[in-house]
Amino acid sequence: MYQLRVEADFSAAHFLSAYNGKCERLHGHNYRVRLWIESETLNEGGMAADFALLKMLLKETLAPLDHSSLNELSEFDGNPSAERIARWIYEALAARFAAQGLAPALIAAVDVFESPSSMARYLPPERR
């Protein structure tokens, strides 16, 4: 099994409306997102996937989140936790993969770091 990882960043503000503590107030994060790919096979060029394409797809997916107030995006139902953000990124990436002719099943996991020590991971249903 081959594993690949690419990373990208975005900055955004949010608050957790169903939380009792300091995170219920508006605050921001410099998020780091890691996209994990797994493949048992390689293409003719000896690659599981093209790093440049993976980075481009990840950056395009994150663009609507960058410098936004995540609570204003209906996708997060007013409560943009790292867990919900990770799932949204996975779903958006899966659609982009399909549009590029890549199998969405290549996506093994999406990690969303709110800080260097706090991360949420979303695993696609077939990876659980």
User: What's 15-63 look like in SS3?
Assistant: CCCCCCCHHHCCEEEEEEEEEEEEECCCCCCCCCCCHHHHHHHHHHHHC
Mean pLDDT by groups of 10 residues along the chain of 128 residues: 97 89 89 97 93 97 96 89 96 96 93 97 87
Mind listing the domains of the chain with CATH numbers? 2-127 (3.30.479.10)
Enumerate the active-site residues.
Answer: 23, 67, 114
pLDDT at res. 21 = 83
Please tell me the distance from the alpha carbon of residue 28 to that of residue 58, in angstroms, as a whole number: 21
Buried residues in 45-62 as b, exposed as e (16+ CB within 10 A)? eeebbeeeebeebbeebb
pLDDT at res. 17 = 85
pLDDT at res. 23 = 81
